[in-house]
Amino acid sequence: MPLRAFILLIFSTSLVCAQTFSQTGPMKLGRASHTATLLTNGTVLVTGGDIDPFNQTNTAEIYNPVTGTWRYTNFAMNAARSHHEAIRLMDGTVLIAGGSNPHPISSAEIFDPVTEHFILTGSMSAQRQFLYDQAVLLNDGRVMVLGNCDSCGTNFNTAEIFNPLAGTWSLAAPLPNGIIARPAVLLHDGRVFVSASGSPNGTDYIYTPGTNSWQATVPMVNNPVGQTATTLLDGRVLIVAGRATAATELYDPLANGGTGQSLPGNPLSVSRSQHTATLLPNGDVLVNAGYNDNTGYSIAQAELFDHLTGTWTAPASMRLATDRLVNTATLLPSGQVLVAGGFQIAAGVTLQPYLNSAELWGAGTKANPVVLAHGYCSDPSAFGNMAKLLRDQGIHVYPFNYASLTQIQSGTPGSCPVTTIGVDYSIEQIGSCFSQFIQDVRRQEAGSQVDVITHSEGGTVARAWMAGLSGGLPYAGEISRLATIGTPHYGQAISF
């Protein structure tokens, strides 16, 4: 298991949820094939969607998990769209691209969570409506999209990458001929895995951003259509179900010298497509809703994948109040999962109106905020991938930058009694500032304990303060858990 995934698993175990669904406030508008994106402040942005079989909306709403209520954003999108992609960028804004209105479109816009404006940005080279999750935030902050179809008669083999700094798109290497793009996910090593099932040979592909190239993997075990793909904490990819199948499989990208290996997994209790799969903080995966092609009905029963045993459970208590498909499922900072919208199908007939109801899975408990302390001659960028993984799980992350604290202003985490701190300051002096940083974080988090992850000298700073060997405020149990990576212990001479 990669180190950052192991740390994430350890530091997310405080998120324990009851395995039941409960009602929360309804959206302002019933919608399906919309998007839902967790914002940096813990609220959820929902955009667009179909409001009936023939019409799309340009409205957007924000869900407040504290009050359980929805409100419209101050401004609407520039274009009505459904079957689009929405990806939160590294600066906290949200890229919204493509979709259908009612035919595929190429336009893209950026949502600013501060002003709630939707600002037009560069358009894609092709008109794309996305029937699966086919947008991936790369480790360098760019966004890759691939597939899908123009008028749903032609499947694109093209891929393109959005540069948020320039606001422009550029073509990436095309997918191999004959490949129909399905779900795409980011692997732990920064490559992109595409579950290209439904193609003649059922072969998956991996894209390497550094070389702008594609590599074929081994053929899939099942070759479904309408499946989901989820990157697990141990780096494997869980592929779940699809049209008229309950089968699952697990793809290991590191097996066979990097070409990968797919092995059959345990099946679901029912077949389903157009469902959602949500990675939970403890490493399990929640699958909910969808459509059973064998019965012609939408699904209320949810199922839970145990990442340690590879088994599925589907107790009667894990049922949605309303069966649905093409809904969204969003992991909240509390560890709960917000399920919103969609529509119902009964005996093969789509029911109206489209759903505005929303439900929460799990009772939820708030995760501790995580403070990151870097090592000697380093800075918080050393924790870049780990910080992203933690934030993606809804955990609040606060990097302590003792290489230079001059930019920290009073009243925000990081206030320090000295004006400048450099790498040549003593452990005791840095520890004094670290103690103040912890207190500032706790004030911002309403008195919560904090978890701390450190590297090298950062661990020495934290341990010295906890042991009462540095200045500043005395340690009084503010830290719940401390992880040190490459930190001197028991007489070790140097940090690294």
460 within a domain of the structure (yes/no): yes
Last residue of a domain, one of 279, 297, 323: 279
> In this predicted structure, what is the pLDDT of residue 151?
54
> In this predicted structure, what is the pLDDT of residue 431?
84
Residues of the chain with pLDDT below 70 are: 1-18, 148-155, 177-181, 196-202, 363-366, 393-394, 403-425, 471, 489-496
Last residue of a domain, one of 279, 310, 342: 279
> In this predicted structure, what is the pLDDT of residue 495?
43
90 within a domain of the structure (yes/no): yes
Q: Are residues 68 and 210 in the same domain?
A: yes
Do 46 and 61 meet the contact criterion of CB atoms below 8 Å apart?
Answer: yes
| CB neighbour list of residue 470: distance below 8 Å, 6 or more residues apart | 427, 428, 429, 430, 431, 432, 434, 435, 461, 464
328 within a domain of the structure (yes/no): no
269 within a domain of the structure (yes/no): yes
Q: Are residues 386 and 275 in the same domain?
A: no
As to burial, measured by CB atoms within 10 angstroms (0-12 exposed, 13-18 middle, 19+ buried), residue 269 is exposed
Q: Are residues 135 and 252 in the same domain?
A: yes
Last residue of a domain, one of 262, 279, 296: 279
Domains held by the chain: number:
2
Cα 412 to chain centroid distance, Å, stands at: 26
> In this predicted structure, what is the pLDDT of residue 204?
81
Do 430 and 418 meet the contact criterion of CB atoms below 8 Å apart?
Answer: no
302 within a domain of the structure (yes/no): no
> In this predicted structure, what is the pLDDT of residue 3?
56
> In this predicted structure, what is the pLDDT of residue 305?
96
**Whole-angstrom distance, CA of residue 450 vs CA of residue 445:** 9
> In this predicted structure, what is the pLDDT of residue 139?
94
> In this predicted structure, what is the pLDDT of residue 411?
36
Q: Which residue has the tokens 């969204």?
A: 328
**Whole-angstrom distance, CA of residue 79 vs CA of residue 68:** 28
174 within a domain of the structure (yes/no): yes
Alpha-carbon distances of 288 from 27, 54, 268, 322, rounded to whole Å: 19, 26, 11, 11
384 within a domain of the structure (yes/no): yes
Find the CATH number of the domain harbouring 100: 2.120.10.80
> In this predicted structure, what is the pLDDT of residue 186?
95
**Whole-angstrom distance, CA of residue 320 vs CA of residue 494:** 55
Q: Are residues 254 and 380 in the same domain?
A: no
Q: Which domain holds residue 427?
A: 370-485
> In this predicted structure, what is the pLDDT of residue 415?
44
496 within a domain of the structure (yes/no): no
> In this predicted structure, what is the pLDDT of residue 99?
94
> In this predicted structure, what is the pLDDT of residue 153?
53
Find the CATH number of the domain harbouring 421: 3.40.50.1820
Q: Are residues 64 and 181 in the same domain?
A: yes
Q: Is the pTM of this model over 0.85?
A: no
